[in-house]
A and B are shown apart, each in its own frame.
Chain A
């Protein structure tokens, strides 16, 4: 079954690259929704249903960790897998993401294999 996926990143380049990498990683991609920050992503989730979320952390307006907290606090979205894809490699941020309920954590730069491996148990 094709998955509808939300990609949240302030970089349009990364959103485009992730779409390509998801296909390379043999992920059954359905619709891809894009948001430039957490606020935009929450607005999209109010209107659209997705089966997977990939989110950056460092973003303007609402960062990825705040966004993750809001997703996990909402009964309608709390079970959607959220994988953080970010340059943030500090243990503090990783731990914070895990505590907030992140389903996975991938550091940039990334390969298709790393994305595939991280998504293997989630989809």
Chain B
């Protein structure tokens, strides 16, 4: 079994659109999916990270500006947030949890049970993120309220798991 970039990007797109339409009552526009290296991270804003584990391991992330994080929290909690605070970070963490949780549920249909970690959210400036290893990220940009939000997933076979799936990972990964 395998999943290619287009399929993974579609899972991300569907999950993100569903979360925004259901929880925020709004439509979100997606851009072109892309592939990134192990340094996909931004240098400023809000980054939320959540781990995936099982026969496949990886990370899901949501990145947006501080302004976008405040808008997401406002839509979620029906309260205006002039600046990032703990409630804003909590709302972004929950959005990440829902998006990547739904991607995980779809992946489980092919790859068997996976676990999801508790999200970690980082807010600041002049920082760098890096994924250890050489996995590539599949990212999808979204646009809402004149702001951009990036949802990214990186997955790799769990070599310790020695599953039959692992050999076939990322067939067609570079096809976009």
Contacts and interface: CB of A to CB of B under 8 A. Distances in A.
B19 A109 contact: yes
Contact of A12 (B87, B98, B102, B104): B87
A92 B112 CA distance: 10
Interface residues of A, number: 22
B87 A92 contact: no
Secondary structure type dominating chain A contacts: loop
Contact of A89 (B22, B76, B101, B118): B101
A66 interface: no
A89 to B, nearest CB: 3
Interface string A1-24: 000000000111110110010000
Interface stretch (B89-97, B133-141, B151-159, B160-168): B89-97
Interface string B106-119: 00100001101010
B30 interface: no
B93 A11 contact: yes
Secondary structure type dominating chain B contacts: helix
Given A11-B90, A13-B91, A109-B22, A92 B113 contact: yes
Interface of B: 18-19, 22-23, 73, 76-78, 86-87, 90-91, 93-94, 97-98, 101-102, 104-105, 108, 113-114, 116, 118
Contacts of A88: 101, 105, 116
B90 A17 contact: no
A54 B47 CA distance: 29
B113 A14 contact: no
25 contacts: A11-B94, A11-B97, A12-B86, A13-B90, A13-B93, A14-B94, A16-B77, A17-B23, A58-B116, A87-B97, A87-B101, A87-B102, A87-B104, A87-B105, A87-B116, A88-B105, A88-B116, A89-B101, A89-B102, A89-B108, A90-B108, A107-B105, A109-B18, A110-B22, A110-B23
